[in-house]
Every structure is written in structure tokens, then in C-alpha cells.
Chains A and B, each alone.
Chain A
């Protein structure tokens, strides 16, 4: 973890309430896809934890580009969506464990639902960079809520798009595709009902990324603790990614 000041260079609406935020500065504390940052938003007491969609170190001094995709869902994130290029953000960077790439095997599967999709993007890029081509399944409620699809398509992986109402891609849920695929390991990020559905049909080991209301984001307040097979675990510190077998559903 590192407390850094990053410069906002891009704020782009992707859907009605989903935004892409690009920041520049010291991102040297990021080590794996699936980590998160905790942003201070002027006027709000608590920071806002947001998963890392992508990052790229561009200089040997540890500086580079950080991309976040978030939904303006409350007063804090709505205020964040009004921040402009050139503004400086106070960021706790490099939080959480991230995905374990060493467990991918030859044919990993990435399964994302809605706002859970962003951290899978950097994961897909990293897997490809290491010579592994993942299969990717993305699920959205409806066509108007789709984001990041073109970026995934550009990665040239087997890609499946599902919408609950059938307005784009195939009609149905991510699990409707999953049951037809074979895979060595799965990585999933999305809402809890999606995890419960995956848990019923998954045929390989895998890991899920969790979300919880947080006080600090770095393990001090015990605000985000969940019970696991290994005992109490802080989503912000031992997580947010937990292996399938330790989760108590």
C-alpha cells in the first residue's frame, strides 16, 4: 500500500451512470490484477474503494497510468464523476491481494457480471502476455448497460456476451454459457447471486472477488470481515479475491 497523489487525465461516461477514470502518477504499489484503490473524494469522510480495471507502468520511476471504471451510485461517486482532468486525487494505491495468476492452468475462464467486469480486463491482458489465452464470459442486464465489450474484443480471446433481456449478445446468464465450456480454472467478479449460480455448476477450481463496505481499505478497522474456512478474513486485506473452497456460502 502507498498513499499517492494522482492526476486525473480522463473522465469519460461509458453508460448512463458508469464512468471511466484515468489517473497518472506513482502506481508502483500495484502488483497484481484484481487489486483495488481507495479514493478520497473532497467533502466525504470515508474513501471510496474502486477496483483497478487496468494499469500500465510507463516509466522506471514507478509512474504510469491507472484506469478505473466505476458506477456513480451515491453522493460520493456522483461527486467523483464531476471531477475534471487536471484535478489531483488522494489515493491509497495497491490494496488487496488480487487474482492468483499461477493457478490459471492452460485454459482459464473469466466470468464477469456488470460492475464486476473491470478487474477482469487487466487479468485477461496479463494472462495473454504470459502466453495463455483465456475464455471470457461477460454478463449485463441490458444493452444500454454494456461497457468495456469492445476493449475485450480487441484482446482477441474467445468472448461470450450475455444479456438478461436478450437485447445484445445471447439472452440469458453467464452460467448458461459456462455449462457449455471446458476450463482449467475460473476467475469471477460480479454480484453475489451470480456467484451462487456459478457455484452450482462450476466444474473446475476457481476464485471470486468480493465487495464489502469498508472503513479503511487496508486492514485496520475490521469493518469488512467475512467468515471463511480459514477463519475471519478481511475483504480488504486477505481478499478481495478468495478461492472457491474457503468461502462459506
Chain B
């Protein structure tokens, strides 16, 4: 019997597999497909203080081995998430969730986190300073070490749960941002968010996405994410959640060897609704195949002796 448990800042998960924010809504839709309690946890749809409609459509474009999205943080606002979405989810999911929070100013982040405090169902906050699809916020904070530090520090001061900061890959050196967040008191880091990209319609001779650019996700970005997790693991001491193109149990193991304590699965959920279930069921078999008794033993394993 293999052990798939991992621990994030004192919170032990049955397994490291977590649907990524933005690819799983508020969880409810997937409860038609499988028992959500199989999951390690769920990272809920990015939530802002005020409700947001998001960007105009088209918001989706296909790419080789992935997709672009420019949803733009559509969500019903922190109040509705705290009072409606979480209680609806709690009827079908009995574990703790990750609350992904975004904003356009320091006050936005602080206000949203405050509205979502005092909830037993919350395992940790994931502070999104990396959304590429909104103006004047999101990624603007995640591409500058000083801003990343400020937001992290402000959220840390009010949050009643561990604070993980979700990093943008759209930077020259992600380790600089990671170090700034750690210095500001972050309990952990989630990486990576999507990479900015574009597709152009040959028929219309203009970008497919109404917002022109969008965030690239899917298997196309897995090696980029893996490299960034590997680099950040070398620099910080706080735990990492690896995100980016993970689609199989082998991808989970690879991400953990690079330095991730847990792993989020994103786009795979969109094309295969039972993706996380399949990965979780496959995981013990792949662990046995590679003679892994306890998953937590392999975290950062690729760094040893290299």
C-alpha cells in the first residue's frame, strides 16, 4: 500500500491532486461526473471583492496542445462565494478548499480575503497576482517584486489561514518574485499561472480573442511550468504547488520531483471532465512502477545529487 498523503502548511491532503482555479468553477458541475471527495482539495474560481462579468466573448481559442483563455475573472463576488457557492459545494464536498483571490488594488485583495475569513471549509488562500486578462491589476502585481511583496504582506496581516501566492510566468526571473513573496511572509507559492499568447483568425485577419491576448494553458506549458517549479524550489524554503499542463499521474510525479508538494490540474478538466479522478486512480500504480512508497519522499527529488 503506497502513501499518497502530502502536507501543505500543516494541512494534510489525502493526495496531491487539486483542480486548478478557473477550470473547475465552484466545483458543483463536476459532482455529476464523480465523487469530488476523491480529490486532495479544490482551488475555487478566482474571486474578487465585487462581482465581475469578465471580458466579452470570444474568450477561448485553441492552440497546439492547449488553449488560450481571456475569461477575465468572471465571478459572483466574495460575498456570494462565501454565502452561496461554498455552502452549495459543501453539500457534495466534505474537505477543505483553496480560495483563490484576485484584485485590482491592495484594498481589493484585503477586502476579499476579509469577506472570506472565518470559514472552516477553507484550507488556505491562494492569492492570484498573475491573471493576464485584466487591466490595472492581476498580473501587474505579479511581475514586480515590490508590488508582490506589498500585496502578500497586506493579505498576510488579515488572513486567518495560510497564504499561498500564485505566480505569473510572464516575467524575466520568477525566482525574484518568489523570494519577495517569501520575504513578505507567504506560507507557500502556487506556480504557474498562464503564459500570455495570441491567435489570429486568417478569415477575419484579427485576433480570435475579443480581448486580443489570453493566457495559454494545457500540455503545451508543462515543461515551462516544471522548469519554473524547479528553479523556485532551489531558492525558497516554503512549499510549492506545481501548476501547468499536468494531465497524467506521471506528470504529477515529475512536478513533485521538481519540487512541488502538491499539484493542480487545470485544462485537462475541460477536455476530460473525469481527468482528476483518472489521475488519482492511476497514481498508486505509477508510484509502484517507480518504487515510490510515500509521495512526500520524492518532493524535490530531482535536485539531489545534481
Contacts and interface: CB of A to CB of B under 8 A. Distances in A.
Contacts of A214: 60
For the complex of A and B, list the 8 residue pairs with the smallest distance between their C-beta atoms, beginning with the closest. A216-B270, A223-B60, A213-B58, A219-B29, A215-B60, A46-B62, A213-B60, A222-B74
A239 B22 CA distance: 20
A1 B274 CA distance: 12
Contacts of A46: 60, 62, 67, 270-271
B24 A232 contact: no
A225 B71 CA distance: 9
Contact of A218 (B29, B64, B65, B218): B29
B25 interface: yes
Contacts of B267: 45
Given A45-B218, A221-B69, A222-B74, A213 B57 contact: yes
Contact of B45 (A76, A222, A227): A222
Interface in B38-64: 45, 53-54, 57-64
A3 B63 CA distance: 23
A220 B30 contact: yes
B66 interface: yes
Nearest to A92: B273
A76 B272 CA distance: 17
B25 A222 contact: yes
A227 B66 CA distance: 27
B22 A221 contact: yes
A182 to B, nearest CB: 35
B270 A215 contact: yes
12 contacts: A1-B33, A46-B62, A46-B271, A212-B57, A213-B59, A213-B208, A215-B59, A215-B67, A220-B25, A222-B59, A224-B57, A225-B57
Contacts of A223: 57, 59-60, 69, 71
Interface of A: 1, 3, 40, 44-47, 76, 92, 212-216, 218-227, 232, 237
A101 B267 CA distance: 35
Given A212-B58, A227-B53, 7 more contacts: A45-B66, A215-B60, A215-B69, A216-B273, A223-B69, A225-B54, A225-B74
Nearest to A76: B62
B53 A232 contact: yes
A11 B57 CA distance: 32
A84 to B, nearest CB: 23
Contacts of B218: 45
Interface string B19-34: 0001111000110110
A1 B64 CA distance: 26
Interface string B260-273: 00000001011111
B53 A225 contact: yes
Contacts of A226: 57
A1 B263 CA distance: 27
Given A40-B271, A45-B67, A45-B271, A219 B25 contact: yes
Contacts of A232: 53-54, 74
A225 B57 CA distance: 7
B273 A1 contact: yes
A226 B74 CA distance: 11
Given A1-B33, A232-B74, A224 B59 contact: yes
Contacts of A219: 25, 29
A220 B33 contact: no
Contacts of A222: 22, 25, 45, 54, 59, 71, 74
Contacts of A215: 59-60, 67, 69, 270
Contacts of B33: 1, 3
Contacts of B45: 222
A131 to B, nearest CB: 33
Contact of A3 (B29, B61, B270, B273): B273
Interface string B267-299: 101111110000000000000000000000000
A218 B274 CA distance: 12
B23 A45 contact: no
A45 B64 contact: yes
Contacts of A92: 273
